[in-house]
A and B are shown apart, each in its own frame.
Chain A
Amino acid sequence: NAGVTQTPKFQVLKTGQSMTLQCAQDMNHEYMSWYRQDPGMGLRLIHYSVGAGITDQGEVPNGYNVSRSTTEDFPLRLLSAAPSQTSVYFCASSGYNEQYFGPGTRLTVT
């Protein structure tokens, strides 16, 4: 039982490049979400999904896309990276009243 896994751990992009952050969970949770964490701002919700085929926007969705084709996987896509997207990204998977976070992806956009 691996919980929530994220890849890659670190990534450096140039402005304008695209990439996908991978997230997978093996707990059969319906609810998954993506957050970004910036100094002094806590965790902010980017997108979330309440089940396969269903996604919705969070607090800061601009510049990011998500899809949920299976219960296990919830990738986050950056369409055209910008320096403002430099952050640490966390994927989370939730059962009733319990949320489990992945180890994070530290992304730098130059």
Chain B
Amino acid sequence: TQLLEQSPQFLSIQEGENLTVYCNSSSVFSSLQWYRQEPGEGPVLLVTVVTGGEVKKLKRLTFQFGDARKDSSLHITAAQPGDTGLYLCAGASNTDKLIFGTGTRLQVFP
């Protein structure tokens, strides 16, 4: 069974701080996705990374896929209250089924 572990599980920070969320597995994935979910809503796709070592930037968010395609990180620069939410990573296997991590709940205080 493929597992994706996210860390930290919870993160509370002040506005303006930087943070990194990690997503780790012992399995290789063909691609990895990051989602953000707000209370009462479904997850919303932020980015898909496909190539080992790939780095993608989305405004203040930087996503990296590990060289071996087993892990990924999400770095947020100068966090804002609007970044508050549940961040989920999800890995796609060669069967195209997505395996989701357990999530990182981020709270950014003004």
Contacts and interface: CB of A to CB of B under 8 A. Distances in A.
Interface of A: 4, 31, 33, 35, 40-45, 48, 58, 90, 92, 94, 97-104
Given A42-B100, A42-B101, 6 more contacts: A4-B42, A42-B102, A98-B48, A99-B98, A102-B42, A104-B41
B43 A101 contact: yes
Nearest to B44: A101
A5 to B, nearest CB: 11
Q: From DSSP, what is the main secondary structure of chain A's interface residues?
A: strand
Given A42-B88, A43-B88, A97-B48, A103 B41 contact: yes
Nearest to B97: A45
Contact of B97 (A41, A58, A104): A58
Contacts of A99: 33, 45, 90, 98
B48 A104 contact: no
A79 to B, nearest CB: 23
